[in-house]
Amino acid sequence: MKKNIEKFLRRTERGQAIILIAFAFIGLVAMVGLVTDTGILLIEYGKLKRSVDAASIAAAQEYRPRAGNEFLDLDRLENAAIGILNLNQVQNLSNVEIHTCEPTDLARPALCNPDPVGHPMANRKLVSVTASSNVVFGFLRVIGINSVTLTASSTGEAATIDLVLVVDTSGGMAYETGNEVYNAPDPKNNTYDKSDTDDDPSVCNLDNSCEPMRVVKNVAWDFVSRLYFPYDRVAVIAMTSQNPGGLRNPMEVLGLTTNRGDIQTEITNLKVFEPRDCNGSDNPTSCLFYQGSTYLGEVCEFYQKYSSTAFANPSGCPSSNIGGAVKLARDALQGIGTHPTTMRPSAFWVVVGLFGGPANATDGNGSFPNGFCPQNTWLLAAGQSPWCRDPYPSTRHSDTDPLFHYVNPISGDSMDISLYDADDYARDMADDLAT
């Protein structure tokens, strides 16, 4: 009897051990699952968070209007964000939400400017992206935990843009108006090649038919219209006066503004340089030459008058003052131009120059009232080299360099001159803008 009881108890203990082992195995699987699936969870969250961060930045980079209008292209933002999320192969992606500060009739996120038109300086291009991902577990399903949903959010920002558009309005911007090729007059004998009367800026400016000026303005507006107002700002610099009979000095026609209509108007109204009419005087500026009522071209009257002497100085005639225009662009960005504005250091500063040719004029000063124009460039025959800059683009001089010994080939006079020219000045102003 005693032996039978002991035998029964031993069998009972063996059954309890199997149960305990089974529970221990489940616990072991749960512990392994906790470690393994938690690792998977952290990896998937990291991937989701990085993907959402990238998606918010990609969406912010598309913060621009729809083609042909001024309203934000929300579809473009959404497609950019979803494209990045799909590219990163986020697991079981769901519930993607994209929020911006636009349109204005919707509730704005906390970081958005409540009055973008009235206080444009506070505008920021913010895009918030929220996405969810369903992570399926491998081991934790043993204890009934099949999956979990992860959610990550990120706000991306693209810089607002302060753009200064510098447009070449020199006389060359009307030379393609007619069908014939314009040929510059020979300054040695005052003879003129055939020219098209349609190239007269005083005529083509009236109906906006000056070419390539008209095409340049259309391209300029097409580019500027891709910016998003009132978040971005634009200023417009013309390389010459915009008034008939004006001077060649660059001018700021529009300071930095968020007003889309004003920007379009000023670009549309840009005109080709229209200097005075030639009158036989010693005026050192360029002029429009007519034979009767027929326009023959823009000439340097003073240079032609003294072309056979040592006094033939063309420095007041060329009108591609790239350096002076770039200098005005710098002032516009700093808000100290002709039309003062508030400087916005947080914006992305951009200067776009639409130039039809190399620099051949500069701003003047006390020693050089007509700008820097080395005398060794004065007497070069037409077609050989331009006035006011040497024929070697790779050379660069400073206005503090030692003077160059020069002998005038007409008078034989020997003198020391500066080789600092219009090209050097343009490069210096570009460096100044960059710093």
What pLDDT does 43 receive? 83
CA angle 283, 287, 290 (to 5 degrees): 125
CATH of the domain at 316: 3.40.50.410
- What are the residues facing 294 on neighbouring strands? 291
Asked whether residue 138 falls in the same domain as residue 196, the answer is: no
Q: Identify the residue whose tokens are 């309890």.
A: 16
Q: Which amino acid is at 406?
A: Y
> What's this model's pTM, rounded to 2 decimal places?
0.81
Q: How far apart are the first and last CA of the chain?
A: 106
Contact criterion met (CB below 8 Å) for 196 and 177 = yes
- 418 in any annotated domain: no
* Average pLDDT of the chain, as a whole number: 84
Asked whether residue 306 falls in the same domain as residue 347, the answer is: yes
Alpha carbon distance 378, 308 (integer Å): 11
Query: Region 317-335: what's the mean pLDDT?
Result: 95
Between 161-175, 209-223, 387-401, the lowest mean confidence (pLDDT) is in 387-401
Domain range spanning residue 177?
162-362+424-434
What pLDDT does 120 receive? 82
What pLDDT does 386 receive? 80
Query: How many distinct structural domains can be found in the chain?
Result: 2
Q: Identify the residue whose tokens are 């918010």.
A: 56
Query: Region 214-239: what's the mean pLDDT?
Result: 94
Q: pLDDT tens digits, residue range 266-315?
A: 999 999 999 999 998 899 999 999 988 889 889 999 988 887 777 788 99
Alpha carbon distance 74, 98 (integer Å): 9
Contact criterion met (CB below 8 Å) for 145 and 137 = yes
Confidence of residue 184 (pLDDT cuts 50, 70, 90): very low
User: Which one of 108, 135, 158 terminates a domain?
Assistant: 158
Residue 106 has which token pair?
Answer: 């919707």
Alpha carbon distance 336, 42 (integer Å): 53
Residue 270 has which token pair?
Answer: 């840009």
Among candidates 418, 420, 190, 377, which has minimal Cα distance to 302? 190
Q: pLDDT tens digits, residue range 25-47?
A: 556 655 666 666 677 778 888 88
Asked whether residue 154 falls in the same domain as residue 166, the answer is: no
Distances from the Cα of 3 to the Cαs of 10, 14, 15, 16, 285, in angstroms?
11, 17, 19, 20, 132
Q: pLDDT tens digits, residue range 405-429?
A: 988 887 788 889 999 999 999 999 9
Alpha carbon distance 335, 419 (integer Å): 33
What pLDDT does 380 receive? 59
What pLDDT does 20 receive? 56
Q: Identify the residue whose tokens are 């971005």.
A: 232
What pLDDT does 319 receive? 92
Asked whether residue 195 falls in the same domain as residue 148, the answer is: no
Contact criterion met (CB below 8 Å) for 62 and 73 = yes
Asked whether residue 189 falls in the same domain as residue 135, the answer is: no
Confidence of residue 193 (pLDDT cuts 50, 70, 90): very low
Query: Region 83-90: what's the mean pLDDT?
Result: 84
Q: Answer with the residue of higher pLDDT: 428 or 97.
A: 428
